[in-house]
Amino acid sequence: MYAQPLYWRAPGANTATLFVATEDDAVQAFDAMTGKELWKRVVGHPVRASSLPCGNINPLGITGTPVLDPSSETIYLDAAVERENGPRHQIFALSAKDGSIVPGWPIDVADALRRSGRDFDPRVQNQRSPLTLVDGMLYVAFGGHFGDCGNYRGWVIGISTHDPGKLVSFETRARGGGSWSPGGPSVVGHDIYFATGNTFGASSWSDGEAIFRVGADLRRSDDKKDYFAPSDWKTLDAEDADLGGSNPLPLTVPGAGSDGRALIMALGKDGKAYLLDRDNLGGIGGQLAAETVSRSSIRTSPATFQIDDAVFVAFQAPGAHCPQGGQGHDLTVLKIAAGSPPRMTTAWCGALRGRGSPIVTTTDGHSNPIVWILGAEGDERLHGFRGDTGEPIFVSEPLRGLRRFQTPIATQGRLYVGADGRVYAFQF
């Protein structure tokens, strides 16, 4: 299980439901308090690794986290399925009540794009990012497989949830440029922000190593305010040190105007953090500030919280400037303070080994922040740290079956962790 669990309480219901999706192409619903299975839906046969030209997930089924629409009580997901004509990507809509497939679904991505004159090869495209809902449109991002085989592109497609036949799309102009970040697209108002990875063979910039801002129609803009790429994008391409491993993170830093300074942070596999003006991304080399903040690649979804007039960003990677020294500290927390340009410093680093993505809990939306992270494929434990000081306050027993990028969820006094063949529930 790579996908994050989902939690939902239907209006008037006595109990809540926890949904999980797995690489076996199965979606299951459980009573969130007791763990009793409520229903299970298998949407197809997952794709065998032998059917793919490269990749490191076997079998390949549901990887990206589904999204739940509470208004229609519908779960949307992308599943890689094995068909007679080979691997396909199909987007399903399931009833949250019983797992039944909603009429008009699934949508075969390759077939839908072909009808609009676009070519999408499902054998070389993979779907890792969480799905996103904005104003009745479902957005699904695609990259490639581990190994970067074939003529894959960075895709984001949008499908109307009311009229699944209505489709819009974005495609990188060069080969590669996958949009695969575990955090997925970010949304501010009606704007959608997403990252792309390294491209191959591009002599001029062709949409790789970038942060894009688009509207509902996903139309690419040539205006510099709507995209950003580092000035050394070509070097990053050659070194596979791209921005596609983490999602654009919206931030608002207090103290710079009545509403604060609206920013976007991008984190790269080059170990750098880039701060961008959210309303003017700046084009190539247009960052407000850039700092090397990690000694290795940053590949997971970050989390943010605020203390007084400073904003903090937590991400999984060994910090470049840890106050405690960097050895064995796979969690880094940055402090962003107002200024021209805004200032980035390393606040603290957390001692753990692993590749989970952090979340932050508070007692009332801002007080007493705690950073939680899984030592996935490392020490295999759930860790909790005080957000202000980095003091360790909780370490679980070892947990079986954790996968990289796995992100816990917190709600109603519980933390839920998805793993292979099981879900862990912690009460706090």
Q: Tell me, what CATH number does 365's domain have?
A: 2.40.10
User: What is the rounded distance in angstroms from the CA atom of residue 238 to the CA atom of residue 236?
Assistant: 5
Token duo for residue 317 = 């990677």
User: What is the rounded distance in angstroms from the CA atom of residue 98 to the CA atom of residue 62?
Assistant: 19
Token duo for residue 128 = 């890792």
For residue 67, being part of any structural domain is answered with yes
Q: Is the pLDDT of residue 244 over 90?
A: no
Measured from the Cβ of residue 217, the count of other Cβ atoms closer than 10 Å reads 10
Q: How many domains does the chain have?
A: 2
* Across 299-311, average pLDDT: 93
DSSP states along 195-210: E---BSS-SS--S-S-
Q: Say if residues 141 and 89 touch (Cβ distance below 8 Å).
A: no
Q: What was the pLDDT predicted at 391?
A: 97
Owning domain of residue 397:
352-428
**Final residue belonging to a domain, choices 88, 123, 158:** 123
Is the four-CA dihedral 239, 171, 299, 363 of positive or negative sign?
positive
Average model confidence (pLDDT) across the chain? 95
For residue 237, being part of any structural domain is answered with no
Q: What was the pLDDT predicted at 326?
A: 61
For residue 392, being part of any structural domain is answered with yes
**Final residue belonging to a domain, choices 90, 123, 156:** 123
Q: Is the pLDDT of residue 323 over 70?
A: yes
Q: What is the widest separation between alpha-carbon atoms in the chain?
A: 59
Binned at pLDDT 50, 70 and 90, residue 258 comes out as very low
**Final residue belonging to a domain, choices 99, 123, 147:** 123
> Number of H helices and number of E strands within the chain?
2, 32
Binned at pLDDT 50, 70 and 90, residue 64 comes out as very high
Q: Tell me, what CATH number does 17's domain have?
A: 2.40.10.480
User: What is the rounded distance in angstroms from the CA atom of residue 289 to the CA atom of residue 291?
Assistant: 7
Q: What is the CA radius of gyration of the chain?
A: 21
For residue 372, being part of any structural domain is answered with yes
Token duo for residue 91 = 């987007």
* Across 294-310, average pLDDT: 93
Q: Is the pLDDT of residue 259 over 60?
A: no
For residue 271, being part of any structural domain is answered with no
Q: Any residues with CB less than 8 A from the CB of 324 and at least 6 apart, and which?
A: 348, 349, 351
Q: Is the pLDDT of residue 67 over 80?
A: yes
User: What is the rounded distance in angstroms from the CA atom of residue 366 to the CA atom of residue 313?
Assistant: 14
- The identity of residue 112, as a single letter, is A
For residue 16, being part of any structural domain is answered with yes
User: What is the rounded distance in angstroms from the CA atom of residue 419 to the CA atom of residue 411?
Assistant: 18
User: What is the rounded distance in angstroms from the CA atom of residue 118 to the CA atom of residue 157?
Assistant: 11
Strands (E), 365-419: 370-374, 382-386, 392-395, 409-411, 414-419
Q: Say if residues 375 and 402 touch (Cβ distance below 8 Å).
A: yes
Query: Could you tell me which residue, 328 or 411, shows the higher pLDDT?
Result: 411
Q: Any residues with CB less than 8 A from the CB of 390 and at least 6 apart, and which?
A: 333, 347, 348, 349, 350
- pLDDT > 70 fraction of the chain, expressed in percent and rounded: 98
For residue 103, being part of any structural domain is answered with yes
Give Cα 69 to chain centroid, integer Å: 18
Q: Which pTM was predicted?
A: 0.96
Q: Is the pLDDT of residue 266 over 90?
A: yes
Q: Say if residues 122 and 51 touch (Cβ distance below 8 Å).
A: no
For residue 365, being part of any structural domain is answered with yes
Q: Say if residues 194 and 248 touch (Cβ distance below 8 Å).
A: yes
User: What is the rounded distance in angstroms from the CA atom of residue 348 to the CA atom of residue 260?
Assistant: 24
